[in-house]
Amino acid sequence: MNDSPETVVRNAYLPERDAVVDIAVADGRIEAIRPGIATTGETELDAEGALVSPGLIDAHVHLDMALSATGDRLPRNNEEWTGRIDAIERTAAYFADTEKAEIAANVREVANRAIANGVLHLRAHTYVDSVVGTSVVETVAEVLEAFDDRLDAEIVAFPQRGIRRDEGSADALNAALDAGADLVGGLDPATLNDDREGVIGTWFDIAKEHDADVDVHIHERGETGMGTLERLAGEAVDRGYEDRVTASHAYALADAATASEDGDANPDDSGDDPLDAAMETFDAADLRFVTCYGSTRRGMPVREFHDGGLVMAHGTDQVRDLWRPRGNVNALEAMGVESIKLDGYSTNSGLGHLWRLITTEGATVLGREDSYGIEPGTPADLVVHRTPSPQWAILERADPRYVLKEGRVVATDGTITDAPAN
Ligand code: ZN
């Protein structure tokens, strides 16, 4: 934004430099980074030596059904799990029955909450089916448009009922890409849709037609899930879609890693670990992975994937909705929980990997790697934390002191200071 005020953030600790510096902002971008910048800023903020980071990233969230569990004394739809199909049909009924104004109000509230939490970039999986068509996508797109200058959001059109189970979902998916969606979504081609080859083919046909990237939910477990992930990678290469496909959840990776660890894996003839072989397939396709708060399985090989050069980011997924009653679109809170759930991630290096999930890895998934980070010339999307380092930011989960979008303060102490007009 050209009308951003000149701003200086003083005494900012940047881990990459292991130094406390001042950050000067002009025209919404970082202009200079060094100690003792002369006072030119209209706005002066003092980080007091605490961590300053780029905007946090939530690479997988369902804004459209956010807060659908709220409103009663007890969370709604929070009884015994009766299976995936029941949950899917309950979701379909929710979207068929809920007024656009209610969905829009919830998206607005959660978008503001994300920003107050320091989340400035996100990817929103958004519902389509044969009944509601593209109406939910249009509602979400309209709300996010009003947040355009404070939240970078991508919309994935998500045909949750399955394009084979719900006749008309594929048409809705296609139409959604003309109605404001950016990516092709989907789920579980081998199990829910019972047609792995056909469904993956359709996803890519639609993606290619719109020159859109792909981000699909793969909940499939064990060898079936690994088969789907490898097939997805193979199709990405065949279609020239290297680095344009994300597998969300990918529970099967945790299953495979755990099997390897327990010595249950069957090495192939070469004696190689099957997860290592799969990683080569994923690497060839530059397939990206997003694991999620509340659904990350024990053994998820975050460290192994990062160390192996594969991209793995994180999403908060649910925001108190009819699938799960938890979630606050708070990336730091999510990493605090992951540090408890995943073995070996409470160490400084483990917490460092969790930090990558919600920063640099997320930027790569969202295709923002070239403009992400605190360097001269990058957009001044900054989070001034209250804590000394990424590790403490996760452990303490303190509300950010300031959140800046393109140099403008949009939240202070966990509260939005500048909400968009409705
Ligand atoms: Zn999801």
pLDDT digits (tens, 9 = 90+) for 323-347: 999 999 999 999 999 999 999 999 9
- The whole-number pLDDT of residue 136 equals 98
Rounded distance between C-alpha atoms, residue 394 and residue 312, angstroms: 18
| Beta strand ranges found along 159-270 (DSSP E) | 183-184, 213-218, 245-249
- The whole-number pLDDT of residue 399 equals 96
Residue with tokens 């009922």: 161
CA of 359 to the centre of ligand 1 (A): 19
Q: CATH 2.30.40.10 in the chain, residues?
A: 7-53+374-416
CA of 79 to the centre of ligand 1 (A): 20
Q: CATH 3.20.20.140 in the chain, residues?
A: 56-371
CA of 125 to the centre of ligand 1 (A): 7
CATH number of 56-371: 3.20.20.140
- The whole-number pLDDT of residue 2 equals 44
CA of 158 to the centre of ligand 1 (A): 9
Report the half-sphere exposure of 126 (CA within 13 A, side-chain side): 35
Average pLDDT over residues 104-113: 98
Q: What is the pLDDT of residues 274-330, one digit of tens each?
A: 799 999 999 999 999 999 987 788 899 999 999 999 999 999 999 999 999 999 999
Q: Does the pLDDT of residue 4 top 80, yes or no?
A: no
- The whole-number pLDDT of residue 81 equals 87
Rounded distance between C-alpha atoms, residue 410 and residue 78, angstroms: 34
Closest to 252 measured CA to CA, from 196, 300, 199, 311: 300
Active-site hit among 62, 249, 314, 385: 249
Q: Does the pLDDT of residue 268 top 70, yes or no?
A: no
**What global pTM score does this model have?**
0.95
CA of 216 to the centre of ligand 1 (A): 9
Fold category of 7-53+374-416 in CATH: Urease, subunit C; domain 1 (2.30.40)
For the question of residue 249 being annotated catalytic, the response is: yes
Alpha helices in 292-359 (DSSP H): 302-307, 331-341, 348-357
Q: Which helix (H) or strand (E) holds 88?
A: helix 84-97
- The whole-number pLDDT of residue 271 equals 56
